[in-house]
A and B are shown apart, each in its own frame.
Chain A
Amino acid sequence: MLKILKQKAVSAPLLRAVVLSSRNYSVSAKQMNVREALNSALDEEMSADHKVFLMGEEVGEYQGAYKVTKGLLQKYGPERVVDTPITEAGFTGIGVGAAYYGLRPVVEFMTFNFAMQAIDHIINSAAKTNYMSSGNISVPIVFRGPNGAAAGVGAQHSQCYAAWYGAIPGLKVLAPYSSEDARGLLKAAIRDPDPVVFLENELLYGEYFPVSEEVLDAGFSIPIGKAKIEKEGKDVSIVAFSKMVGFSLKAAEILAKDGIDAEVINLRSIRPLDRSTINASVRRTNRLVTVEEGFPQHGVGAEICASIVEDSFGYLDAPVERIAGADVPMPYAANLERLALPQVEDIVRAAKRACYRSVPMSAAA
């Protein structure tokens, strides 16, 4: 069955390519970008539950540093959309305390780099409290904001925190890719009674994806802890999250021309990690490539590799391949930055290595 896939235009929001797919997206083809998806999710959840409120720098009058919270101050007022001073430790603690009392805060970090100033509250005050109190005090809070590299923002503004937060029992960690992911996962996160770290990606905010009627429904949500197979395949499993899902899909197109049918899995959830979907996929394809933007040591890919080796060792026909960000602080110069981040050709090369094909084969019949 031939699938017709057109390239999506990434940087020009006016150019909306229509993406047709036979199975994973419905044919209704309404387009929504990730920013709109997040904004509508916040709007609907605030409307449904008065306990939900937003706080963060510039979320109100500025309409959001990245315009994710645009219009919400006008609609819900300053009690529910709270502009904070530039004091992450303080306002994160205040958010967690409000969650202790029973409110449902959504705390925005302008980027997760700044959340390091507040990480004690995320881990020690939020993640561990339900356990330490044996269920007496729960913490229904969401910490959201852009994570990982943007473009040319340098070393202090480009780190990916998925692996750090993903290690912590008591946290749920989500990483949406598409607009459907953004809407469904953010709604699920806000409704979830546990602390959720919601890792967005600045470069995805302007990207358009098709959304079905179901996705647009106010009651829509995506279950936490379940990965999505974006593209089925039989030769190699490529597991990624956030922006790297897009890169992996592009890599899959290139691999298809060389006769390699890649399966692309969108993790959606870093914690809980959907080990069963990944294992089931590797048991079908027998080969695995993990892709992430973050630092390689102790990364998400390392955990996935260990998990597969423990649970599906006998099914592996090749060593697990990891593609990750370079082991360096992010450089500024455009060429160095490009070298520091995974590119589509890196994913293609790793998949070919996993398939023991360094030389392109003629296309399969």
Chain B
Amino acid sequence: MAQLTQRAATFQRTLSAAVSSTRCLSTASTSPISVETSLPFTGHKIDPPSRSVETTPQELLSFFRDMALMRRMEIAADSLYKAKLIRGFCHLYDGQEAVAVGMEAAITKKDCIITAYRDHCIFLGRGGTLLESFAELMGRKDGCSKGKGGSMHFYKKEGGFYGGHGIVGAQVPLGCGLAFAQKYSKDENVTFAMYGDGAANQGQLFEALNMAALWDLPAILICENNHYGMGTAEWRAAKSPAYYKRGDYVPGLKVDGMDALAVKQACKFAKEHALKNGPIILEMDTYRYHGHSMSDPGSTYRTRDEISGVRQERDPIERIRKLILSHDLATEKELKDTEKEVRKEVDEAIAQAKESPLPDPSELFTNVYVKGLGVEAFGADRKELRAVLP
């Protein structure tokens, strides 16, 4: 009944708003809406949270916009890579946007996130800009790591984002270390350590989880299960692909990772749990449309039907679009306009990033140390190229 009244109210607002020719979606209301997640949560050694998620029109519209932005950024990166403006490794996140966006909705910038190399969208969620992102991908000095990191090494410490790591699994003990430091400093914040189904088998993950549980660290392990570790399907790599249960004595939750609201609910739940009871594992059931990286077509180990099937049935952006439309929070045209704006924003950022120069050659020798002690460092021909580290 409450929902009907809500619908009537928003319908009326929509009607009156439709009359005026300019309605700004950013003035959307913050009146609460209750939405059911499409799938229930499954718990391991814990009672799962309710399927009923509190949200607002403003939040749903921002989910849509943020995910559309992330989607557009990754697609644009694909083109830039093919145009050889991005070199080396480029691991794209399109399909998984709901995890990044749902998580951000549940936490603050004082909570920490650390992930592996599929990090562009997480960076954006933590407050990174499109310019910093594209410039870094193209190795320019306006990049978030001044062009010296590349796709896999985005960081934003002031936004609570600790990278951006190239070694599969290493980020999990590092994340537990962040949680250790948060507890040591009595910060009342948590760390989300993200990893994939491939990394889930790494030994160091279990070493870190053991210590996190032993010492009650506020660590939340997020397994982004996109079902393929590079070219190897989960059932070929893991004896037990129920990653949310792999913590054994550590509780876990299986979450529909294509549903931003489910992700938000789970992360909120996990944060409360971790602050009181120590580590918890969240398995996000998600999917990547691209291959493992730009060198992988992504179709030799899975069928095109599977990929298009997920896109049709479970796409995270389409889900939010349907939700917005069914609640009359915006019209189809308004959402399409948002997508056009987002595309324009991305194109402008790319144009700006292309203008950004490559780093100065002297940057070869900067940041090797915080305190270089006036020591000499050498280039390939040490008689030709040497520098004093400040």
Asked if B174 is an interface residue, CB under 8 A from chain A, the answer is yes
Asked if A132 contacts B148 (CB within 8 A), the reply is yes
Checking A97, A132, A134 against B174 with a beta-carbon cut-off of 8 angstroms, the contacting residue is A97
B208 touches A90 (CB 8 A): yes
A87 adjacent to B210 (CB under 8 Å): yes
B164, B175, B210: the one contacting A97 at CB < 8 Å is: B175
Please, how many angstroms separate the alpha-carbon atoms of A125 and B369 in the complex? 14
Contacts of B49 in A (CB 8 A): none
- Tell me whether B170 and A125 are in contact (CB under 8 A): yes
Residues of A near B207 (CB, < 8 A) are 85, 87, 89-91, 93
A98 and B177 contact, CB distance less than 8 A = yes
Given contacts A85-B210, A94-B208, A136-B157, contact A172 B369 (CB under 8 A): yes
A132 to B143, CA, bound (A): 12
- Asked if B149 is an interface residue, CB under 8 A from chain A, the answer is yes
Q: How many A-B residue pairs have CB under 8 A?
A: 161
Interface set, chain A 111-154, CB cutoff 8 A to B:
120-121, 124-125, 129-138, 140
Chain B residues with CB under 8 Å of A124's CB are 166-167, 170
Do the beta carbons of B145 and A101 come within 8 Å of each other? no
A264 within 8 A of B: no
B358 part of interface (Cβ distance < 8 Å): no
Contact with A along B142-165 (1 / 0, CB 8 A): 001111110001011100001111
Q: Tell whether B371 is near chain A: CB-to-CB under 8 Å.
A: yes
**In whole angstroms, how far apart are the Cα atoms of A102 and B368 in the complex?**
18
Query: Do residues A131 and B367 form an inter-chain contact, with CB atoms below 8 A?
Result: yes
Cross-chain contact B180 with A94 (CB below 8 angstroms): yes
Identify the closest chain B residue to A306 (Cβ).
Answer: B382
CA distance A89 to B149 in the complex (A): 24
Residue from B163, B172, B180, B373 within 8 A of A224 (CB atoms) = B373
A241 within 8 A of B: no
A100 at the interface (CB under 8 A from B): yes
In the complex formed, the residue of B with least CB distance to A272 is B375
A97 near B177 with CB under 8 A, answer yes
Q: Are A79 and B149 in contact (CB under 8 A)?
A: no
A contact residues around B206 at 8 Å (CB): 90
A193 to chain B: closest residue by CB: B370
Cβ-based interface call for A99 (8 A): yes
A19 within 8 A of B: no
Contact status A93-B177, CB under 8 Å: yes
Complex Cα gap A169–B383 (Å): 18
A91→B163 CA distance, assembly (Å)? 19
Closest to A90 in B: B207
8 Å CB interface, B367-381 against A: 367-371, 373, 375-377
Encoded as 1 (CB less than 8 Å from any B CB) or 0, chain A from 173 to 212 comes to 0000000000000000000111000000000000000000
**Per-residue interface assignment for chain B, residues 170 to 182, with 1 indicating a CB less than 8 Å from any chain A CB and 0 otherwise:** 1011111111111
Tell whether, in the assembled complex, residue A92 and residue B371 are in contact, meaning their CB atoms are under 8 Å apart: no
How many angstroms from the CA of A91 to the CA of B156 in the assembled complex?
A: 24
A94 contacts B373, CB within 8 Å?
no
Closest Cβ–Cβ distance, residue A72 to chain B (whole Å):
16
Asked whether, in the complex, the Cβ of B184 is within 8 Å of the Cβ of A79, the reply is: yes
Residues in A neighbouring B144, C-beta threshold 8 A: 136
* Chain B residues whose CB sits within 8 angstroms of the CB of A192 once the complex forms: 371
A125 to B179 CA separation, bound complex (whole angstroms) = 16
Per the bound structure, the CA–CA distance linking A119 and B230 in Å amounts to 24
Q: Let me know if A95 is at the binding interface, CB within 8 A.
A: yes
The answer to whether B112 touches A101, judged by C-beta atoms less than 8 angstroms apart, is: yes
CB of A113, distance to nearest CB on chain B (Å): 18
Q: Is the CB of B155 within 8 A of A90?
A: no
Report chain A residues within 8 Å CB of B210.
85, 87, 90
B148:A98 contact, CB within 8 angstroms? no
Could you list 16 examples of A-B contacts with CB < 8 Å? Answer: A82-B215, A87-B210, A90-B207, A92-B173, A94-B173, A97-B175, A100-B178, A101-B177, A101-B178, A133-B149, A134-B147, A134-B149, A137-B162, A140-B370, A194-B370, A225-B373
Closest 9 CB pairs of A and B: A97-B177, A93-B173, A90-B207, A101-B181, A87-B207, A97-B174, A193-B370, A134-B146, A94-B177
Q: Which residues of A contact B (CB under 8 A)?
A: 53, 79, 82, 84-85, 87, 89-103, 120-121, 124-125, 129-138, 140, 169-170, 172, 192-194, 223-225, 272, 275, 310
| Given A97-B162, A132-B145, 19 more pairs with CB closer than 8 A | A85-B214, A89-B173, A90-B206, A93-B176, A97-B173, A97-B177, A100-B162, A100-B174, A103-B184, A103-B185, A120-B170, A125-B165, A130-B367, A131-B148, A131-B367, A133-B164, A134-B148, A136-B144, A140-B370
- B residues with a Cβ closer than 8 A to A are 112, 114, 144-149, 153, 155-157, 162-167, 170, 172-182, 184-185, 203-204, 206-208, 210-211, 214-215, 366-371, 373, 375-377, 382-383
